[in-house]
Chain A
Amino acid sequence: MRSTWIAEAAAVFAKDWRCELRAKHAIATLGLFAVTSLIVASLALGPVGIDTAERVAFAPVLIWLILLFATAAGLPRAFVHEEETHTATALRLSASPSALFAGKAAYSFSVLAAVEAVVAPLAAALLQIDVARPGLLAGALALGGFGLAVASTLLAAIVAQGRGRTTLFAALAFPVLVPLLALAVALTRAALGAEVAAGILAQLVLYDATVTVAGLMLFPAVWNP
Chain B
Amino acid sequence: MSANRIEFRGLSRRFGRLAVLARVDGCVASGEVLPVRGRNGSGKSTLLRCLAGLLAPDAGEIVAAEEGRALEGEERRRRIGYVAPDLAFYEELTVGENLGFFSHLRGIPPAVATELLARVDLPAERRAGALSSGMRQRLRWAFALLHRPRLLLLDEPFQNLDGPGEQTARALLAEHLAGGGLAVVASPVLLSLPATLDAIDLDR
Contacts and interface: CB of A to CB of B under 8 A. Distances in A.
Contact of A90 (B53, B55, B108, B143): B143
Interface string B80-101: 1010101111111100010001
Interface string B39-82: 00000000000001111100000000000000001100110101
A39 interface: no
A51 to B, nearest CB: 48
Interface stretch (A3-11, A29-37, A165-173): A3-11
B103 to A, nearest CB: 9
Q: Is the interface of A mostly helix, strand, loop or mixed?
A: helix
Interface stretch (A52-60, A63-71, A94-102, A186-194): A94-102
| Interface residue tally on A, bucketed by range | 20 to 34
Interface in A2-30: 2-4, 7-8, 11-12, 15, 18-19, 22-23
Interface in B86-128: 86-93, 97, 101-102, 104-109
B184 to A, nearest CB: 15
Nearest to B88: A86
B139 to A, nearest CB: 10
A161 B84 CA distance: 20
A15 B88 contact: no
* Size range of the chain B interface in the assembly: 20 to 34
Nearest to A94: B105
A3 B87 contact: no
A15 B89 CA distance: 12
B88 A87 contact: yes
A18 B73 CA distance: 30
Nearest to B80: A93
B13 to A, nearest CB: 11
B77 A92 contact: yes
Contacts of A92: 54, 77
B88 A1 contact: no
Given A89-B86, A89-B87, A94-B106, 11 more contacts: A2-B106, A2-B107, A3-B107, A8-B104, A11-B104, A15-B93, A92-B77, A93-B77, A95-B105, A224-B73, A225-B56
Interface of B: 52-56, 73-74, 77-78, 80, 82, 84, 86-93, 97, 101-102, 104-109, 143
19 contacts: A3-B105, A11-B101, A11-B104, A11-B105, A18-B93, A22-B92, A85-B88, A86-B86, A87-B88, A89-B54, A89-B87, A92-B77, A93-B77, A93-B80, A93-B82, A94-B78, A96-B74, A225-B55, A225-B56
Interface of A: 1-4, 7-8, 11-12, 15, 18-19, 22-23, 85-87, 89-90, 92-97, 220, 224-225
